[in-house]
């Protein structure tokens, strides 16, 4: 009896302790900050395991500490030229940045700052490539050998994701050396163009038979300046039908043309990823946050590529005489400053009248 009572009391005490710890970590501000730090540290360890050690120190040598000059090489990849973005921002942190952390401002032309010994050569940079350029994350990773990992995170909780790079400077020099080493961050960028998009307003499809058929509709989009691009964070179709399979059912969607040739965007969708009823909507791409371009599909137009983007939808129709249906293509384009632009065009699907 005594043993069971002790076990029960021990269990209750443990439960109270765990509830108290959960309250501290998820409700108390200082606990929330501690929890985020622990999560960040765990993610850093995981990143290091995945990325591997990019700066192996010779045996017996200490990680570099002292002055380092940081520069940022801003390059328009599609134009193969140096550029000057509008309102870029480069902030250096001595630990993984979190809420209320204040970074050291770095200019693209060069800023020298001290790296203390306790960080063991590991620093972070929050990088904003300006309101008129996209950061090309895949090329950024491959262009910077001292970057061990990079990620998007709203660490300052302002509602917008920040691009953060983790750098290993431990083997950049010897502590106490006379010369100041230089770290140049290669920043591959793509010029945005979301204002010039136009479509060809495809003609309505008429006299569709009342027997089941598949109609193919192609929208032709033009207007991106050569050497520019954009990110699509939403691609969907809206109709005046009530639900999928009533009169219309969306099937395959393909993307083709000059803009898609080299940009790496998806070119085939076998079916919608989501559908809505009442007014039938079929989603083919749906970013968690349509304002965050890094969650979107990249399309660009290289200087030698045609000014075309074709979006073709196959739509299974089961119409009755004189049915009149509309199909709207919707694209949401996200910009680096968190604003969006919408492209929309409608086509009619009309059944035979008798």
The pLDDT value recorded for residue 354 is 80
What residues are paired with 255 via a beta bridge?
A: 311
Tell me: do 225 and 341 sit in the same domain. Answer: yes
pLDDT band at 53 (very low <50, low <70, confident <90, very high): very low
Q: Residue 145: give the domain boundaries.
A: 64-190
The pLDDT value recorded for residue 223 is 95
Tell me: do 80 and 35 sit in the same domain. Answer: no
Average pLDDT, the chain: 89
SS (H, E, C) the chain: CHHHHHHHHHHHHHHHHHHHHHHHHHCCHHHHHHHHHHHHHHHHHHHHHHHCCCCCCCCCCCCCCEEEEEEEEEEECCCCEECCCCCCEEEEECCCCCCCCCCEECCCCCEEEEECHHHCCEEEEEEECCCCEEECHHHHHHHCCCEEEEEEECCCCCCCCEEEEEEECCCCCCCCCCCCCEEEEEEEEEEECCCCCEECCCCCEEEECCCCEEEEEEEEEECCCCCEEEEEEEEEEEECCCCCCCCEEEEEEEEECHHHHCCCCCCEECCCCEEECCCCEEEEEECCCCCCHHHCEEEECCCCCCCCEEEEEEEEECCCCCCEEEEEEEEEEECCCCCEEEEEEEEEEEECCC
Residue 304 forms part of a structural domain: yes
Tell me: do 218 and 322 sit in the same domain. Answer: yes
Q: Give how many domains the chain has, as a whole number.
A: 3
Tell me: do 69 and 103 sit in the same domain. Answer: yes
Tell me: do 232 and 344 sit in the same domain. Answer: yes
Mean pLDDT, to the nearest integer, of 276-283? 96
Answer whether 229's CB lies under 8 Å from 193's CB.
yes
Residue 53 forms part of a structural domain: no
User: Does 87 have pLDDT greater than 70?
Assistant: yes
Mean pLDDT, to the nearest integer, of 315-325? 96
Which among 310, 290, 288 is positioned nearest to 299, based on CA atoms?
310
- Lowest mean pLDDT segment, chosen from 36-40, 234-238, 253-257: 36-40
What residues are paired with 69 via a beta bridge?
A: 112, 182
The pLDDT value recorded for residue 23 is 60
Q: Output the domain CATH number for residue 228.
A: 2.60.40
Percent with pLDDT over 90 in the chain: 81
User: Does 28 have pLDDT greater than 80?
Assistant: no
Q: Name the token pair of 60.
A: 């017996």
The pLDDT value recorded for residue 144 is 97
105-115 pLDDT tens trace: 999 999 999 99
From the CB of residue 76, how many other CB atoms can be counted at a distance below 10 Å?
17
Tell me: do 100 and 73 sit in the same domain. Answer: yes
Task: Quote the distance between the C-alpha of residue 77 and its chain's center.
Answer: 18
Residue 288 forms part of a structural domain: yes
Residue 159 forms part of a structural domain: yes
The pLDDT value recorded for residue 208 is 96
User: Does 50 have pLDDT greater than 50?
Assistant: no
Tell me: do 108 and 225 sit in the same domain. Answer: no
Rounded distance between C-alpha atoms, residue 76 and residue 147, angstroms: 20
Tell me: do 178 and 135 sit in the same domain. Answer: yes
Mean pLDDT, to the nearest integer, of 266-274? 97
Residue 57 forms part of a structural domain: no
The pLDDT value recorded for residue 20 is 65
Mean pLDDT, to the nearest integer, of 122-146? 97
Tell me: do 258 and 314 sit in the same domain. Answer: yes
Between 14 and 333, where is the model more confident? 333
Longest dimension (CA), the chain: 91
User: Does 16 have pLDDT greater than 80?
Assistant: no
Domain's final residue, options 190, 219, 250: 190
150-191 pLDDT tens trace: 999 999 999 999 999 999 999 999 999 999 999 999 999 999
pLDDT band at 13 (very low <50, low <70, confident <90, very high): low
Domain's final residue, options 190, 216, 235: 190
Between 34 and 315, where is the model more confident? 315
Mean pLDDT, to the nearest integer, of 282-297? 98
252-262 pLDDT tens trace: 999 999 999 99
């Amino acid at each position: 009896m005594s043993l069971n009572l002790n076990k029960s009391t021990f269990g209750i005490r443990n439960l109270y302790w765990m509830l108290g710890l959960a309250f501290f970590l998820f409700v108390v501000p200082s606990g929330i900050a501690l929890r985020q730090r622990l999560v960040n540290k765990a993610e850093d360890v995981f990143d290091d395991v995945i990325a591997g050690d990019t700066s192996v120190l010779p045996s017996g040598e200490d990680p570099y500490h002292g002055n380092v000059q940081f520069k940022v090489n801003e390059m328009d990849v599609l134009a193969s030229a140096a550029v000057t973005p509008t309102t870029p921002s480069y902030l250096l942190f001595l630990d993984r940045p979190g809420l209320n952390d204040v970074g050291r401002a770095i200019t693209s032309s060069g800023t020298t700052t001290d790296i203390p010994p306790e960080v063991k050569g590991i620093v972070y940079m929050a990088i904003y490539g300006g309101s008129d350029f996209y950061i090309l994350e895949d090329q950024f990773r491959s262009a910077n050998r001292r970057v061990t990992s990079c990620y998007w995170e709203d660490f300052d909780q302002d509602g917008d994701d920040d691009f953060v790079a983790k750098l290993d400077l431990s083997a950049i020099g010897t502590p106490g050396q006379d010369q100041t080493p230089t770290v140049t961050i290669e920043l591959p960028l793509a010029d945005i163009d979301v204002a010039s998009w136009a479509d060809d307003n495809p003609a309505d499809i008429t006299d569709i038979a009342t027997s089941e058929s598949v109609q193919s509709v192609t929208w032709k989009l033009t207007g991106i300046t050569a050497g520019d691009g954009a990110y699509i964070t939403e691609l969907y179709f809206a109709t005046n039908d009530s639900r999928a399979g009533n009169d219309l059912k969306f099937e395959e969607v393909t993307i083709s043309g000059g803009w898609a040739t080299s940009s790496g965007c998806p070119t085939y969708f076998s079916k919608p990823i989501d559908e809505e009823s009442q007014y039938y909507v079929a989603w083919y791409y749906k970013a968690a946050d349509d304002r965050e371009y890094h969650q979107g599909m990249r399309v660009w137009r290289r200087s030698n590529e045609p000014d075309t983007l074709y979006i073709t939808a196959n739509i299974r129709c089961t119409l009755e005489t004189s049915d009149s249906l509309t199909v709207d293509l919707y694209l949401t384009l996200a910009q680096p400053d968190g604003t969006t632009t919408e492209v929309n065009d409608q086509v009619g699907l009309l059944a035979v009248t008798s």
